[in-house]
Amino acid sequence: MAARNEAAIREQAEIRIIRRKQVEARTGLSRSTIYAKMRRNPKRPADYDPTFPRSVSVGAKAVGWIEGEINAWLTAQVEKSRKA
């Protein structure tokens, strides 16, 4: 019975893709900072954040981010800042 409930919950939980402008609005980060967090740069190593969610290709020239991953990252950032 519990396995059935878990399966139903998974089916109901939809994956929502949000675009860059929405990620900027939610995180307060600029476009360049979002991409800097996703890639290592030897000139600016502090910008890279391995915990920042990776983008997902949604078309030939379009990317998005999974909303749940962005929300989880934001929650982790709040928790990290409260511990400091």
What local confidence, expressed as pLDDT, does residue 9 receive?
55
Asked if the model's pLDDT at residue 7 lies above 80, the reply is no
Asked if the model's pLDDT at residue 1 lies above 60, the reply is no
Percent helix, strand and coil across the chain, each to the nearest 5:
55, 15, 30
pLDDT in tens, 21-69: 999 999 999 999 999 999 999 999 999 999 999 999 999 999 999 999 9
* Tokens linked to 22: 């929405």
Asked if the model's pLDDT at residue 11 lies above 60, the reply is no
Model confidence band, residue 13 (pLDDT cutoffs 50, 70, 90): low
